């Protein structure tokens, strides 16, 4: 993902008369200083000369970064958006229709909340009017308002214009949400699935120059009925993640008391208030928010571009927190040569095939006598479908983990088991039920009783779900 690039996604179908003009307006639009622009056009099986018009424009404007892709047949606006999104490499994306109803001069309004880190998604509303709006069909407007109302009920939002073309979003976030609608049902699907994923929505007024059906407007009654069906599907489907591991991590965000318990368990080993700390695999920051306060410098890292984007938004006001993308399976963790007092690696090592190499890299990033705090899943015999679904290569025993650290150049200070209470449920879910998901409802219930689990956990007679090992760098 290019963090200085903005992607403009243009679904195209039979717009030979207008597409060159809209491309000219996009190229000439005001974009933020320091950002480049890529324009991704997907010709959705046009039967006119739309594709030729795009090629001619590209030949006349070689300085513009434009890519044209084609569907062999007409599949619908949603399918074209999905193709364009898959090709996008910018940090932010904007959907732009190929007609002249929407004005690219409104891009600064759409991008401002994203650039400032306040939003994940921004809708350009035709009904929050500060500019011009062409007055057209009452019944079309009524249907739009009714669909927006239904979408708001399903998504628990208060949007004024769900059906707007102008939707801007963080690209990595949008790519992490599976989109299935091929036609105009893409509008409610994006809205509801993004909302169910916890996206921060903003709306901003835009200008709108609608056209008549005689001029080429394509949305009809069939699309309204399809949108109702998509609203019902998107409200109840579990299909809101492209990655099972992301689904589990997101589910854990519903257990703040459990996350606090884990953080407070390792906090005494993380060094004093002035320590420099590197957290490997911070994810969405479920633990970072508990571990980072009062640190001189806290580096939160993850391999996922989407998680890095979320971390940057969540901690943008914390001056001591630095967010970086880091591949824990790589050999050079901090390429600038910096070293840290403490490395925190929680539920990460089991995701790395060569865990010994990762520990060697961890050792190199630590200052002499620096400390590593590692939490891994306990008990190889507990490995099940949940482990496999979220990308665990293995589970560990305590002697195995301690020996691995010693061979990697560490002296083990302390190791102990953590979270016995959840092991029976983990084994039942992953080995008996063969499930690949964690229930949000069950996690919420579990979270409500963390005060009790903390008191009884050490007295339970079975193995814990996790092992915590605290080790010092040797030499």
pLDDT digits (tens, 9 = 90+) for 231-263: 999 999 988 888 777 777 677 777 999 999 999
The answer to whether residue 215 scores a pLDDT higher than 60 is no
Whether 322 and 285 have beta carbons less than 8 Å apart is answered as no
Highest averaged pLDDT of the listed ranges 248-252, 285-289, 438-442 = 285-289
Residues 6+ apart with CB under 8 A from 460: 420, 421
Instruction: Please name which of 416, 423, 427 lies closest in space to residue 446, comparing C-alpha atoms.
Output: 423
The CA-based angle 176-181-183, given to 5 degrees, is: 135
pLDDT, residue 335, reads 76
Alpha-carbon distance of 70 to 56, in angstroms, equals: 16
pLDDT digits (tens, 9 = 90+) for 4-59: 999 999 999 999 999 999 999 999 999 999 999 999 999 999 999 999 999 999 99
Q: Which residues of 112-149 are buried (b: 16+ CB within 10 A; e: fewer)?
A: bbbeebebbbbbbbbbeeeeeeeeeeeebeebbeebbe
Residue 390's SS3 state is: coil
pLDDT, residue 290, reads 94
Question: What HEC string does 148-202 produce?
Answer: HHHHHHHHCCCCCCCCCCCEEEEHHHHHCCCCCCCCCCHHHHHHHHHHHCCCCEE
Which structure tokens are listed for 295? 């640190």
Verdict on whether the full-model pTM lies above 0.85: no
Residue 13's SS3 state is: coil
Alpha-carbon distance of 440 to 446, in angstroms, equals: 10
The answer to whether residue 201 scores a pLDDT higher than 70 is yes
pLDDT category at 436 given cuts 50, 70, 90 is confident
Mean pLDDT of 66-72: 97
Residue 388's SS3 state is: helix
pLDDT, residue 143, reads 79
Alpha-carbon distance of 145 to 161, in angstroms, equals: 7
Domains, in order of start, for the chain: 2-239 (3.90.550.10), 245-473 (3.40.50.150)
pLDDT category at 225 given cuts 50, 70, 90 is confident
């Amino acid at each position: 993902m290019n963090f200085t690039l903005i992607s403009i996604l243009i679904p195209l179908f039979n717009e030979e008369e207008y597409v060159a003009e809209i491309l000219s307006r996009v190229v000439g639009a005001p974009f933020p200083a320091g950002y480049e622009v890529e324009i991704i056009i997907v010709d959705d099986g046009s039967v006119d000369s739309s594709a030729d018009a795009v090629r001619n424009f590209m030949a006349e404007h070689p300085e513009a970064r434009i890519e044209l892709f084609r569907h062999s047949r007409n599949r619908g606006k949603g399918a074209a958006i999905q193709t364009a999104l898959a090709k996008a490499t910018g940090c932010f994306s904007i959907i732009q229709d190929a007609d002249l109803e929407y004005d690219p001069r409104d891009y600064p309004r759409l991008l401002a909340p994203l650039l400032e880190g306040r939003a994940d998604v921004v809708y350009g509303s035709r009904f929050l009017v500060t500019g011009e709006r062409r007055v057209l069909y009452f019944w079309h407007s009524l249907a739009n308002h009714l669909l927006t109302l239904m979408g708001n009920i399903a998504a628990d939002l208060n949007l004024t214009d769900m059906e707007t073309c102008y939707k801007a979003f963080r690209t990595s976030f949008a790519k992490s949400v599976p989109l299935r609608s091929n036609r105009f049902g893409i509008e409610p699907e994006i809205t509801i699935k993004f909302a169910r994923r916890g996206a921060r929505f903003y709306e901003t007024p835009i200008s709108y120059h609608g056209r008549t059906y005689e001029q080429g407007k394509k949305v009809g009654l069939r699309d309204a009925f399809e949108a109702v069906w998509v609203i019902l599907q998107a409200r109840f489907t579990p299909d809101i993640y492209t990655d099972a591991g992301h689904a589990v991590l997101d589910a854990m965000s519903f257990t703040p008391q459990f996350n606090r318990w884990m953080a407070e368990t390792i906090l005494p080993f993380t060094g004093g208030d002035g320590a420099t700390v590197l957290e490997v695999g911070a994810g969405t920051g479920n633990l970072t928010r508990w571990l980072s306060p009062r640190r001189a410098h806290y580096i939160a890292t993850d391999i996922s571009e989407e998680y890095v984007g979320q971390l940057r938004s969540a901690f943008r006001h914390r001056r001591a927190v630095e967010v970086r993308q880091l591949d824990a399976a790589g050999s050079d963790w901090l390429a600038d040569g910096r070293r840290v007092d403490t490395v925190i690696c929680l539920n990460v090592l089991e995701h790395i095939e060569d865990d010994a190499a990762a520990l060697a890299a961890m050792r190199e990033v630590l200052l002499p006598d620096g400390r590593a705090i590692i939490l891994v899943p306990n008990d190889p015999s507990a490995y099940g479908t949940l482990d496999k679904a979220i990308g665990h290569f293995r589970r560990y025993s305590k002697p195995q983990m301690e020996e691995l650290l010693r061979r990697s150049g560490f002296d083990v200070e302390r190791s102990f088991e953590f979270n016995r209470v959840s092991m029976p449920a983990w084994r039942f879910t992953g080995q008996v039920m063969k499930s690949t998901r964690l229930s949000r409802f069950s996690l919420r219930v579990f979270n409500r009783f963390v005060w009790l689990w903390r008191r009884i956990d050490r007295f339970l007679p079975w193995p814990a779900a996790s092992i915590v090992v605290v080790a010092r760098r040797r030499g």
